[in-house]
Amino acid sequence: MKQQLENIRVQALAALDAAETPAALEELRVSLLGKKGELTAVLKQMGKLSPEERPIMGQVANAVRADIEAKLEERKAIINAAVLEQKLAAEAIDVTIPGDEVTMGHEHPMNQVLQTIKDLFVGMGYTIVDGPEVELSDYNFTKLNTEEGHPARDRSDTFYFTDDDSVLLRTQTSSMQIRVMENAKPPICILAPGRVYRKDEADATHSPMFHQIEGLVVAENITMGNLKSALVTVMKQIYGQDAVMRFRPHHFPFTEPSCEMDMQCHKCHGTGEVDGQVCSTCHGEGWIELLGAGMVHPKVLSGCGIDPEKYSGFAFGMGLERMAMGRLKITDLRLIFDNDVRFLNQF
């Protein structure tokens, strides 16, 4: 029996040493120490021994059991550590790997310029106002001294909504002059930026939808000098103190006298030519028209309930895209609306 127990010990320790997984270890524990295990089977034969042999064999059996249990614990610790090690390696996260970069958008270049212009006028006391793009012909034309039959009202230039031509997509932000003057008493000093629409083919300087910024100042003793100083002050802030600008006489039904303000073309520097070719940015003009302006027509003032004997005013309407093109040296207006990030990311 002693030999039997000794065999069990040697084989058990060898088997335990060879076990690699927690499952294999558990299987061995059951087969070695369990109720149906080998050791138990040997101990069941103890009754057949003589009273002298029994305590001696009992001691040997206990020692074998203790050895197996100790070995079990030892292997268990080693295998568990290995399992943990494997798990850690498999689930490892390298916290030092750089994350995926989140590319942030930024303000559209045209809105950057709009914000600059707004800031400049707000700094001079102007209030920003907003109004509808779907407008009444009354506001877009009639009350701006542009009677029916005037060429500006032509269906080939204007997007109308109704057969009687009474509702349209505003062709100019000048409609805001009327909306403001009908509702406020002088002194008035407002800036009204917004979209306008015309049936224009798109080219380097035209688009069927573009943005204007309307300005209107009405008070006592307002003169053309006030108009020029306000515009020159702002343009020099935007284009630099050495920017070249000019005022030209012009005609608008709702201002008298009227003028246009041009800026020297930033592409050809006024020559109208680039590398022997007609400059595509100014069509060879050498100048880029920035805005129309003038003194508010007395008929427009009185139509809005403002006494033209007491008050005078100036108004201007500038093209925002053209302002942005000049400021950011963009040579084709269509780029502003293409939303190509390769273009937008340059600003």
Site for ligand PHE, residues 219 to 248, rule: CB under 6 A: none
Dihedrals φ, ψ of 248, to 5°? -120, 140
Closest separation between CB of residue 217 and ligand PHE, Å?
11
Task: Provide the CB-side half-sphere exposure for 172 (13 A, CA).
Answer: 27
Q: Which helix (H) or strand (E) holds 178?
A: helix 175-181
Instruction: State the Cα–Cα distance between residues 262 and 286, nearest whole angstrom.
Output: 10
Question: In this chain, which of 174, 205, 264, 312 binds ligand PHE, going by CB under 6 A?
Answer: 174
Question: In this chain, which of 316, 326, 327, 330 binds ligand PHE, going by CB under 6 A?
Answer: 316
Distance (Å) of CA 153 to CA 3, 137, 165, 189, 293: 120, 9, 9, 28, 19
DSSP for 287-315 reads EEEEEEEEEEPHHHHHHTT--TTT-EEEE
Asked if 311 is part of the footprint of ligand PHE (rule: CB under 6 A), the reply reads no
Nearer to ligand PHE, 37 or 317 (CB): 317
Site for ligand PHE, residues 71 to 110, rule: CB under 6 A: none
Q: Give the residue closest to ligand PHE by C-beta.
A: 317
Report which of 102, 113, 167 is spatially closest to residue 140, judged by C-alpha positions. 167
Q: Among the candidate windows 11-19, 68-76, 200-208, 289-297, which touches ligand PHE by CB under 6 A?
A: 289-297
Asked if 139 is part of the footprint of ligand PHE (rule: CB under 6 A), the reply reads no
**Residue 227 CA to chain centroid, in angstroms?**
36
Nearer to ligand PHE, 194 or 292 (CB): 292
Closest separation between CB of residue 102 and ligand PHE, Å?
41
Nearer to ligand PHE, 75 or 287 (CB): 287
Closest separation between CB of residue 197 and ligand PHE, Å?
11
Q: Among the candidate windows 31-39, 232-240, 313-321, 336-344, which touches ligand PHE by CB under 6 A?
A: 313-321
Q: Would you state the structure tokens that stand for residue 259, as one six-digit string?
A: 């003028």
Residue 253 CB coordination number (10 Å): 17
Q: Would you state the structure tokens that stand for residue 150, as one six-digit string?
A: 């005037």
Dihedrals φ, ψ of 211, to 5°? -115, 140
Q: How many residues bind ligand PHE (CB under 6 A)?
A: 11
Angle, CA of 265, 270 and 273, to the nearest 5°? 95
Closest separation between CB of residue 276 and ligand PHE, Å?
33
Site for ligand PHE, residues 243 to 262, rule: CB under 6 A: 252, 255, 258
Asked if 292 is part of the footprint of ligand PHE (rule: CB under 6 A), the reply reads yes
Asked if 172 is part of the footprint of ligand PHE (rule: CB under 6 A), the reply reads yes
Sign of CA dihedral 164, 168, 171, 172: positive
Asked if 315 is part of the footprint of ligand PHE (rule: CB under 6 A), the reply reads yes
Closest separation between CB of residue 285 and ligand PHE, Å?
17
Instruction: State the Cα–Cα distance between residues 252 and 268, nearest whole angstrom.
Output: 29
Residues that bind ligand PHE (CB under 6 A): 172, 174, 252, 255, 258, 292-294, 315-317
